[in-house]
């Protein structure tokens, strides 16, 4: 049976939006925002349990909160490589912040210091700054610990109990592919920047770009691999032009083992060796 499942990011999560999605029996997978001290933080992320492998780079565990009809189902996903990247990124930020706060500790102005206010309002440093009782700014060890606990983790929720934890984790990860598609809508076809002024040309441009992404996704499903790897194997098949006194010959190189496997998985016949003789 075919069905449609809406996948949304944390920015669209609200009680009103989730209620609207559920009207008419709609099913969804959404990434939940994790607020410090909130339900997702205290009862979901902090819940002990073993992570189960989903892919080589993704782990997940299922968590239920509440009882009866109010019971909520969550899946905590963990990406070790992303966790390591976030820790590496945070270290110099804290080092820079310590350098900014060191000369301010002797300042008698406390919270009235413009520099302290700027640090607390900073998107880079603000989350790690707190004021002491004396009004001086210091690094918030609790905030640092909370951030470390969330490294490489995201929480997904679904109102469809038929979906497994793996389905929920991979379903949300596919949203990243959609977002990437919009960012790279033209680059895959290597189209130069075009300024369209006629409606039907705009429609055609978008249709070609979307079709290209659809074909890539179908190829990935058929081969069980990323499009980049599939493309690299297929690029081994090249068209060579040979010139001689009797004319020109276009010949296709013989596919290597990797390319032959891709063609078989995609159910595409290998191109003929000779294409044209002129």
Q: Which of 138, 162, 126, 119 is nearest to 25 (CA)?
A: 162
Same domain, 158 and 143: no
Same domain, 107 and 94: yes
Q: Identify the pLDDT of residue 92.
A: 94
E strand or H helix at 165: helix 165-183
- The region of weakest confidence among 7-11, 107-111, 137-141 is 107-111
Average pLDDT, the chain: 84
Left if phi > 0, otherwise alpha if psi is -120 to 50, otherwise beta: which for 223? alpha
Q: Bigger pLDDT: 158 or 178?
A: 158
Domain total of the chain: 4
Judge residue 28's burial from the number of C-beta atoms within 10 Å of its C-beta, 0-12 exposed, 13-18 middle, 19 or more buried. buried
Q: In this model, does residue 1 exceed pLDDT 50?
A: no
Structural contact between residues 31 and 60, judged by C-beta atoms closer than 8 angstroms: no
Same domain, 171 and 132: no
Domain that holds residue 269: 234-277
Pairing of strands 52-55, 58-65: antiparallel
Same domain, 32 and 165: yes
Q: Which of 188, 171, 139 is nearest to 8 (CA)?
A: 171
Same domain, 72 and 159: yes
Same domain, 72 and 9: yes
């Amino acid at each position: 049976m075919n069905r449609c499942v809406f996948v949304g990011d944390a920015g669209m999560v609200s009680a009103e939006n989730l209620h609207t999605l559920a009207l008419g029996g709609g099913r969804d997978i959404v990434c939940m925002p994790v607020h410090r001290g909130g339900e997702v933080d205290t009862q979901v992320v902090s819940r002990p349990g073993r992570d189960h492998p989903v892919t080589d780079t993704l782990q997940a565990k299922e968590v239920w909160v509440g009882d009866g009809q109010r019971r909520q189902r969550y899946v905590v996903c963990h990406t070790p490589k992303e966790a390591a990247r976030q820790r590496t990124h945070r270290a110099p930020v804290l080092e820079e912040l310590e350098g900014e706060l060191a000369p301010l500790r002797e300042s008698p102005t406390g919270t009235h210091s413009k520099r302290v206010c700027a640090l607390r309002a900073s998107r880079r440093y603000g989350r790690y700054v707190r004021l002491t009782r004396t009004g001086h700014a210091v690094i918030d060890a609790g905030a640092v610990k909370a951030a470390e606990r969330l490294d490489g983790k995201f929480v997904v929720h679904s109102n469809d109990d038929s979906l497994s934890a793996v389905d929920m984790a991979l379903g949300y990860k596919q949203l990243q592919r959609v977002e990437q598609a919009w960012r790279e809508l033209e680059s895959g076809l290597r189209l130069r920047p075009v300024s369209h002024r006629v409606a039907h040309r705009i429609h055609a441009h978008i249709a070609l770009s979307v079709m290209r992404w659809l074909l890539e996704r179908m190829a990935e499903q058929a081969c069980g691999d990323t499009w980049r790897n599939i493309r690299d194997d297929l690029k081994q098949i090249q068209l060579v032009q040979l010139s001689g006194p009797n004319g020109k010959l276009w010949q296709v190189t013989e596919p290597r083992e990797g390319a032959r496997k891709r063609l078989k998985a995609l159910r595409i016949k290998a191109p003929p060796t000779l294409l044209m003789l002129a």
